[in-house]
Amino acid sequence: MAVHLERVQETLFKAREEVGKVIIGQKEIIDRSFIAIFTGHHALIEGVPGVAKTLLVRTLAKVLGCPFSRIQFTPDLMPSDITGINVFNLQKGEFILVKGPVFTTFLLADEINRAPAKTQSALLQAMQEKRVSIDGETHALSPNFTVFATQNPIEYEGTYPLPEAQKDRFMFKVSMDYPAKEEEMLLAKSSLGSAPPETLLDQDAVRTVVNEKDLSAFREALLKVTLKEELAAYAVEIVRATREHESLLVGAGPRATQALLLSSRAHALLKGRDFATPDDVKAMTAPVLGHRLVMRPEFEIEELTIKEVIQQILETVAVPR
């Protein structure tokens, strides 16, 4: 089904408006969540408790007409708790697959860094190939399967750092900060009513603006956003510069280049354009590259941050005209 860019833009604008009815503020996070969904990638969300990370994903699923599942990651979580397991049915005399929460469209992996690496890696095949293997059999997931993983930035006891291979499968790492004073005041006023803010979604505060079948067509339409070869070369130079920067132990790989170009196209679409510019690439560089880079210990001592390194790289790479 051919979809015009104008329709995709119209749908995006309506969806942003609906999500904004429930999620107060956090406009940048909402936009990047849509970019991850419309490009077929995944997002890592970092934020302190209570900033509506779970509510955001649940609202996105409602607005986009997609199934939603949530996994609370814990140290004793097993891979089969994510993928599912074959159970013998005595009445039928055969094994029946009991599907795990991964069989959905939007999966919220809550506090993903609380589970050990073996369990975290159970998501790797699903995130990369959109399928899982259970007892030697391969099962397809939704073509729109998207993982939103959250982690708490302040509690390190009982947590396991995400392996580099898994972090590289997330298009973004975005941070949900505390709301601004005016936004928090709106939340406070909503609490004066008969229902607390977290129940707004259950009261049909938002409407569905698109169905799941349309998402694949929208993703194809995204490729119609013009991205010139010079801009692709610009993105390549930025990514390659991370491998040569003196303060970085590990730079970004080729998957980062693809993510940077795709997200730049989606960012242009969110801005109401059918062509990408260097500003789109710059806007996406930090969220796409930040979690993929590893600092050298000696530079961490000097309190140099990843964000500052990325800014240095952007200042040194020539911008195409």
| Domain residue limits at 164 | 10-219
Categorize the per-residue pLDDT at 134 as very low, low, confident or very high, splitting at 50, 70 and 90.
confident
Q: List % helix, strand, coil for the chain (3-state, nearest 5).
A: 45, 15, 35
**Pair (195, 258) in one structural domain:** no
Distance separating alpha carbons of residues 37 and 39, to the nearest angstrom: 5
Question: What mean pLDDT is predicted for residues 27-49?
Answer: 88
Q: Whose CA is closest to 261, among 218, 223, 314?
A: 223
Alpha helices in 158-277 (DSSP H): 164-167, 181-190, 212-222, 229-242, 254-270
Residue 2 lies in a domain: no
Residue type, 263: S
Q: Report pTM.
A: 0.86
H/E stretch holding 117 reads helix 117-120
Q: Are residues 93 and 167 in the same domain?
A: yes
**Last residue of some domain: 163, 194, 219?**
219
Same structural domain, 232 and 183: no
Residues β-bridged to residue 243: none
Between the ranges 43-47, 160-164, 174-178, 198-202, where is the mean pLDDT highest?
A: 43-47
φ/ψ of residue 158, rounded to 5:
75, 20
Q: Which residues contact 311 (CB under 8 A, 6 or more apart)?
A: none
Q: Indicate which CATH number applies to the domain containing 264.
A: 1.10.8.80
Whether the pLDDT of residue 206 is over 70: the answer is yes
Number of domains in the chain: 2
Q: Are 67 and 105 in contact (CB under 8 A)?
A: yes
Helix/strand/coil for 89: strand
Residue with tokens 């354009």: 273
In the chain, pLDDT over 70 holds for what percent of residues?
91
Residue 202 pLDDT: 45
What are 128's two structure tokens?
Answer: 């990369």
Q: Find the mean pLDDT for residues 218-234.
A: 90
Domain match, 164 and 251 both: no
Tell me the pLDDT band of 166, cut-offs 50, 70 and 90: confident
For residue 287, what are its two tokens? 């969220």
